[in-house]
Structure 1
Amino acid sequence: MLFRTIKNTTTMLTVVAIVLVCAAVVAFSVEEYEQLYLEATRADLDGLSENLASDLVPLIASDPDIFEVTTTLLRLDRYDNVKYAVVFDKNWQRLNVYFGTLFVPEELDSAIDTNELRLQPHGVDVKHGELIALKLVGDARLPLGHLLIVNDSSGPLYSSKLTLLKRVLPLVFLVLFVTIVGSLFIQRRLFLPLSRLSQVAKKIQVTHDYSLRIDTRGKQEVAELSRDINSMMETINAETQKNAKYTEQLKEQQKAMERLANFDGLTGLPNRQFFMETLRLELAKAKRDERNLVLMYFDLDGFKGVNDSFGHEIGDLVLMEVCRRTKGILREGDLISRLGGDEFLILLHNEPNDLELFEISERLVSGLNMPFEIQSWEVQVGVSIGIARASDSNFNVSEFVSNADIAMYRSKLAGRSTHTVFVPEMMEDNKRRLLIANSIANAIKFSEFSIHYQGKVGADEKIVGYEALIRWKSDVLGLVSPAEFIPIAEQSGKILSITKWVIKRVCQELDQVQGLQKNEVMVSVNLSAHDIKNTALVDYIRKMFVRYNVNNASIEFEVTESAYLENFDVANLFLTQLREMGCSIALDDFGAGYSSLGYLTQIELNTLKIDKQFVDNLNVSKRSTLVTKTIIEMAKQLNLQICAEGVETREQAEFLIENGCHQLQGYLFSKPKSLLEMLNI
């Protein structure tokens, strides 16, 4: 009943709000008063103890004058809150004691712990409701003794706060009472027009006399409401005549809403809901007629880059153009649907044979690979297609779409801009991929990962550094290759947790790794393209360096050339922060990706790592040999360190050293080893 009306609700809320505000103000004031009181009392005690300590210097400088010391301590009688005071000689032996009215002398021995006082710094401190002043008598270089004064703070503070409340609370209650009464009066005045409005409305409801009018006096909102109600009653009859017309319009709107519910608003294609319902019906018919159905699942390659580079408006225009171009490629009767984002489904009409299916797929790949002219921009995307047959899913809708999705994923793994037909064997691969993705968290939790270190040697073939490489020995999966689980971790969004684990473990083991060599060596840690997009990782690295007391210059971070250039601005910002911390930066797999040499003038690096494919072809392929020489010479001109990876033969090592390569890494010198193996444990 209390909260059934707006008036009662607002009244109660107003009262509660006022009470809470007053209570908060009083509580805050008392807290501030307590702080100010303690600060003032502390300052007074500090000054008093400092003066007494100075006055005691001549009294205990040679033979302590106990009478004069007692006389000096009796000056504390003027201070009611002093519990007791003790004068010690320099060896912490009691010379004299003063007892205030608040202290029982028999409790002195239990109250004073000389051993604890020896460790306590000089000054004023608060403990257990007491202000304790401990001062040095004499100079710090020639101490004569110590002065201890213990002052009661809790009792006086309580009395002072009680006095404050006795003075303040009557005024607070008065202000509270006046404010509440005033608020109630104002609210009653404000809600009076609404009460009158309610009475008239009830009367109209009973009498159905629409000639009655509501008094439009009152505040602006109430007056406007009254005028609106009067106007509404005047138009009731006219509105009744328009109902038929509105009913027809509602039917048209219903049709439009049905279209919105079943078709994509951007492309006009059937949406997921409509397509899945159609597919369910078609599967039932095909199973009954012992026919097969073919489903295509395609996803645009590089579409995210279009949105990032040109904006979502251009991205939407690209999707519309993809829709138009795809419709021109497909046959009559083929049903295309947009699932969302840049994903599309195509149900092919009249199961095509293998040749027809190949031709349709090739037309889609080549047609959608052609550049799009969008508002004077030339936009390039690709397409990865997955193809599935209904019979492979036992005509189950979810499995049918899932099989096409798995095949599409295979197309992306195969290099994109291609098409793949689902075969049942892919299901096992997909299950393993899901198992790996779901096992990563437990692998970190139960320490299934480990770090292996592969040495890097200089021209004299002595160790100059190590690269930290992660290995996974799973209790369920056995040995899992990084080449298998790293891409899965990247796609499932779990690569960051792996990278953090590697960084933490390297920081923990760094001292032991460096202890294997006489000179300080550098340890390299790999970063993925996903890692360099996460700015919070820099703060994590900094935190680990501080926690494990790592010399920042001992850590080098490696990022592949393709990962750097695909996210150039983000990578530059990320790696600049690492460089400012004192870490080194290496560009890995150089020459295997973009080889956009112009970027080397815009980025700051310490090391270029020559990709293994060039090392493998040294003295085998003239072109690879020439490219390798060129990379080394270019790095020299840019004052960069050169590291060649994948060195496995003596001939490769001699060629690289002869041409000025600074570091060599490969099985010829060292295989990756765990820390225990390196320590021969």
Structure 2
Amino acid sequence: MIFKTIRSTLTAFNSLTIAVLCAAVLSISVFVHEDLYSEAVTNNLDGLSNNMAYDLSSILSAPEIDVASISALLLRLEEYENVKFAAVFDQDYNQLDLYAGKSLQADDKRHLNTYQEQLDKMQLGMSIKNGRLFSFKSIGEKAFLNGYLLIVNDLQKPLNRSKLSLLLKVLPLTFVIIGIGIALSLWLNRKMLLPFQKLARLAHQIKETNDYSIDINVEGKQEVVDLSDKISSMMDTIHSEEIKNKQYTDQLMQQRKDMERLANFDSLTGLPNRQFFMETLRKSLSTAEHELDDMVLMYFDLDGFKGVNDAHGHEVGDKLLIEASKRAQRFLRHGDLIARLGGDEFLILLYNDPNEFVVMDIAERIIREISKPFDINDWEILISVSIGIAKATDANYNLSDFVSNADVAMYKSKVEGKNKHTIFIPAMMEDNKRRLLLANSITPGLKNNEFQVYYQPKVNADEHIVGFEALLRWHSPELGNVSPGEFIIIAEQSGKINQITEWLLKEVMYDYASILAHFGENTVVSVNLSAHDLKNTKILELITALYDRYFINPKCIEYEVTESTYLENFDMANECFENIRSLGSSIALDDFGTGYSSLSYLTQIKLNTLKIDKQFVDNLGISQRSTLVTKTVIEMAKQLNLNICAEGVETRQQMAFLVAHGCHQLQGYLFGKPTDLATLLATPYKRENK
């Protein structure tokens, strides 16, 4: 009886031990699995939200926020079934767009407004609350904050599903092992007590070390050996799941590293990108200010890069950016940092308070090196570079002002002819403020009728008026009379030149009837087009509509484009002008000889009129070279059956020379200054008899 009692006690004890052992192993597995799963999901969402916040930065920093682009970006979350919702807010926490995920439930919808009201109290980063994983990220740099991104992910339900899957795999085998253990417990009074103690020790070791790869091999009766094998099999299953989770975690970590690289480095050139550079610059400015050191920032972009893209395609343009960045890096000192800001814009940070001689030497070397021909895809590409230079001390170590000063200096280099470097001085900020004021005043100026069309006459050899050039004037109550040479460039850079051209075309077409009634039905009115107009796909549609509305004879309208604009957009210009010529209008090449000065281009482009630039006319009879060039251009144009018009004629001697050598039309102050329509119609002019 005592033996049976002891055996029963031992059997019950060992059965309980086996059950506890299995439960402990399962608990450890579930806890480890839960921690690994939560960490993996958190890291994945963190990397995803960082990437999306970076992509949203360029959208929210645009002058006009494109909500459709935000929605398209949020649709990336479609493939993540556990995302409840995601929202994009501006810097004032106003919601710009909302994405409702597949796991969004009714209680989440009721709390959406609550989340938005608590945004200003929510800490940036990752957090877990009530079974939900929150990712709250800022969009843009701290100094250039554009908004916030909130992504809420369901954590508890998928975690429960994952734990259930693990249990469903392990529990059947666990129950089998427990059953075998109970059957074998009858023999524990003789030979199985010691092996089970060994199993208990192994279980404790596994719990302490979390090492599921430990080999369980317990000697004893066959039942004990079988139990050992079953437990070993269970451990192998757990170990296999652990390996899978570790591989998944490693994969997520690698993806995180890849996303960090994408977030910090430019994928095309391999250089640090704007985000990385700005963060480095912020830290460097703080250190330099503390140590009373100075730093120099160079801001440069490639002159004519857009023309290369248009003429040769983006593949050539990308290779050009890579080669140009490599050339610029050759002249940097150890420790200096170069980054691609975006497009064809680059930043260089020069450390250790370099003296002016070193800075000038680096800038001039970069200009000379990039000005050398590039051999790309069997094309010889020629470009130049404009550089702006600023000092940290001039910006009082303020990051935004530091970059802005370099940008202003770079713009000054472009305005003064490109292919040069300019050092920032405080006086340039006034020019920049005026440039911004002009850019922001163009659209209101058009709406308030501050712009006006002036007409300058063109005459033939007998001084009879044969046409007019429509010229734009801006009389602003706030800015006064703004020169076209000033506001046209700003309009092109700010993307508002198309508005101006459309307004000008409508005004000219409206004035058309009055001009022709006063000066004759064969009078031709010329309108200037910019490079941006050539890219405007709606320009031909607008011209056609205006012709129909105002009963325009297309042959009485001529479109002028400058030589540099034409040749920088060669194929696009030819296509645009071919469409205009098909309507019956003519094309004139303006400022000939001041851009590329390649006469061979005239054999490849389709023109009606060639305009000789004023700088050649001014030097007639003064500069032998200008006189010879003018003669050559006129003779060549005649051979190509082109109409020839000379600009800037101010003296009788200039007129006599041009007429004697076969110039068809003359334009300049000698025959009339640009005037508004009312004055034009009230002033008597010689009119050609038809």
- The normalised TM-score by structure 2 is 0.63
- Contact 1:210–1:233 (Cα < 8 Å) also in 2: no
Judged with a 3 Å threshold, the aligned counterparts in structure 2 of structure 1 residues 368 and 639 are, in CA distance, closer, same or farther, namely closer
Residue by residue over 1:599-625, the C-alpha shift from the partner in whole angstroms, topping out at 9 and shown as x without a partner, is: 323333222211111111111112222
Aligned pair partner of 1:629 in 628, 631, 654: 631
Query: Map of 1:89-100 to 2, 5 A cutoff?
Result: none
CA deviation after TM superposition for structure 1 residue 310, in Å: 4.4
Higher relative contact order at CA 8 Å, sep ≥6: structure 1 or structure 2? 2
CA distance in 2, matches of 1:624, 1:206: 92
Judged with a 3 Å threshold, the aligned counterparts in structure 2 of structure 1 residues 656 and 424 are, in CA distance, closer, same or farther, namely same
**Which residue matches 2:385?**
383
Residue by residue over 1:390-423, the C-alpha shift from the partner in whole angstroms, topping out at 9 and shown as x without a partner, is: 1221211111111111111112222222111111
Q: For 1:461, what is the secondary structure of its paired residue?
A: coil
Q: For 2:469, what is the secondary structure of its paired residue?
A: strand
Residue by residue over 1:464-513, the C-alpha shift from the partner in whole angstroms, topping out at 9 and shown as x without a partner, is: 11111111001111100011111111111111111111111111111111
- Contact 1:607–1:642 (Cα < 8 Å) also in 2: yes
2:560 aligned with 1:567: no
CA distance in 2, matches of 1:657, 1:536: 39
- Contact 2:307–2:569 (Cα < 8 Å) also in 1: no
Q: For 2:462, what is the secondary structure of its paired residue?
A: coil
2:479 aligned with 1:489: no
**Which residue matches 1:594?**
596
**Which residue matches 1:620?**
622
Judged with a 3 Å threshold, the aligned counterparts in structure 2 of structure 1 residues 447 and 285 are, in CA distance, closer, same or farther, namely same
**Which residue matches 2:152?**
none
Judged with a 3 Å threshold, the aligned counterparts in structure 2 of structure 1 residues 330 and 559 are, in CA distance, closer, same or farther, namely same
Q: For 1:266, what is the secondary structure of its paired residue?
A: coil
Residue by residue over 1:45-65, the C-alpha shift from the partner in whole angstroms, topping out at 9 and shown as x without a partner, is: xxxxxxxxxxxxxxxxxxxxx
Aligned pair partner of 1:279 in 278, 281, 299: 281
2:187 aligned with 1:208: no
- Contact 1:457–1:664 (Cα < 8 Å) also in 2: yes
Judged with a 3 Å threshold, the aligned counterparts in structure 2 of structure 1 residues 211 and 302 are, in CA distance, closer, same or farther, namely farther
CA distance in 1, matches of 2:249, 2:562: 65
Amino acid corresponding to residue 396 of structure 1 in structure 2 = N
Amino acid corresponding to residue 386 of structure 1 in structure 2 = G
Judged with a 3 Å threshold, the aligned counterparts in structure 2 of structure 1 residues 616 and 352 are, in CA distance, closer, same or farther, namely same
**Which residue matches 2:338?**
336
The structure whose Rg is larger is: 1
**Which residue matches 1:550?**
552
Q: For 2:466, what is the secondary structure of its paired residue?
A: strand
Judged with a 3 Å threshold, the aligned counterparts in structure 2 of structure 1 residues 212 and 443 are, in CA distance, closer, same or farther, namely farther
CA distance in 2, matches of 1:433, 1:344: 22
Judged with a 3 Å threshold, the aligned counterparts in structure 2 of structure 1 residues 676 and 354 are, in CA distance, closer, same or farther, namely same
2:668 aligned with 1:666: yes
CA deviation after TM superposition for structure 1 residue 632, in Å: 2.2
Q: For 2:519, what is the secondary structure of its paired residue?
A: coil
**Which residue matches 1:520?**
522
CA deviation after TM superposition for structure 1 residue 274, in Å: 1.9
**Which residue matches 2:15?**
none
Residue by residue over 1:108-130, the C-alpha shift from the partner in whole angstroms, topping out at 9 and shown as x without a partner, is: xxxxxxxxxxxxxxxxxxxxxxx
**Which residue matches 1:609?**
611
Unaligned runs of 5+ residues in structure 1 are 1-197, 214-231
CA distance in 2, matches of 1:202, 1:370: 65
CA deviation after TM superposition for structure 1 residue 368, in Å: 2.4
Residue by residue over 1:623-650, the C-alpha shift from the partner in whole angstroms, topping out at 9 and shown as x without a partner, is: 2222222222222233322211111011
CA distance in 1, matches of 2:594, 2:375: 31
CA distance in 1, matches of 2:524, 2:311: 37
Query: Map of 1:640-659 to 2, 5 A cutoff?
Result: 640-659=642-661
CA distance in 1, matches of 2:569, 2:165: 69
**Which residue matches 2:22?**
none
**Which residue matches 1:454?**
456
CA distance in 1, matches of 2:496, 2:470: 19
2:468 aligned with 1:466: yes
CA distance in 2, matches of 1:677, 1:547: 25
CA distance in 2, matches of 1:625, 1:437: 40
**Which residue matches 1:410?**
412
2:481 aligned with 1:479: yes
- Contact 1:649–1:668 (Cα < 8 Å) also in 2: yes
**Which residue matches 1:270?**
272
- Contact 1:204–1:210 (Cα < 8 Å) also in 2: no
Residue by residue over 1:136-162, the C-alpha shift from the partner in whole angstroms, topping out at 9 and shown as x without a partner, is: xxxxxxxxxxxxxxxxxxxxxxxxxxx
Judged with a 3 Å threshold, the aligned counterparts in structure 2 of structure 1 residues 549 and 374 are, in CA distance, closer, same or farther, namely closer
Unaligned runs of 5+ residues in structure 2 are 1-160, 177-233, 684-690
CA deviation after TM superposition for structure 1 residue 428, in Å: 0.8
CA deviation after TM superposition for structure 1 residue 592, in Å: 2.3
CA distance in 1, matches of 2:454, 2:587: 20
CA deviation after TM superposition for structure 1 residue 306, in Å: 3.8
CA distance in 2, matches of 1:580, 1:445: 32
CA distance in 1, matches of 2:268, 2:568: 29
CA distance in 2, matches of 1:376, 1:466: 44
2:512 aligned with 1:510: yes
- Contact 2:506–2:546 (Cα < 8 Å) also in 1: yes
CA distance in 2, matches of 1:410, 1:656: 37
Aligned pair partner of 2:394 in 387, 392, 395: 392
Count residues with an aligned counterpart.
465
CA deviation after TM superposition for structure 1 residue 316, in Å: 3.6
Judged with a 3 Å threshold, the aligned counterparts in structure 2 of structure 1 residues 311 and 526 are, in CA distance, closer, same or farther, namely closer
Judged with a 3 Å threshold, the aligned counterparts in structure 2 of structure 1 residues 480 and 659 are, in CA distance, closer, same or farther, namely same
2:536 aligned with 1:534: yes
CA deviation after TM superposition for structure 1 residue 252, in Å: 5.8
Q: For 2:531, what is the secondary structure of its paired residue?
A: coil
CA distance in 1, matches of 2:568, 2:325: 27
Residue by residue over 1:529-577, the C-alpha shift from the partner in whole angstroms, topping out at 9 and shown as x without a partner, is: 2212223201101101111111222211112222222222211121122
CA deviation after TM superposition for structure 1 residue 449, in Å: 0.6
2:431 aligned with 1:429: yes
CA deviation after TM superposition for structure 1 residue 250, in Å: 5.6
Judged with a 3 Å threshold, the aligned counterparts in structure 2 of structure 1 residues 296 and 244 are, in CA distance, closer, same or farther, namely same
- Contact 2:452–2:473 (Cα < 8 Å) also in 1: yes
Report the aligned-residue RMSD. Answer: 2.9
CA distance in 2, matches of 1:611, 1:375: 35
CA distance in 2, matches of 1:486, 1:606: 25
- The normalised TM-score by structure 1 is 0.64
CA deviation after TM superposition for structure 1 residue 212, in Å: 10
CA deviation after TM superposition for structure 1 residue 373, in Å: 4.1
Q: For 2:632, what is the secondary structure of its paired residue?
A: helix
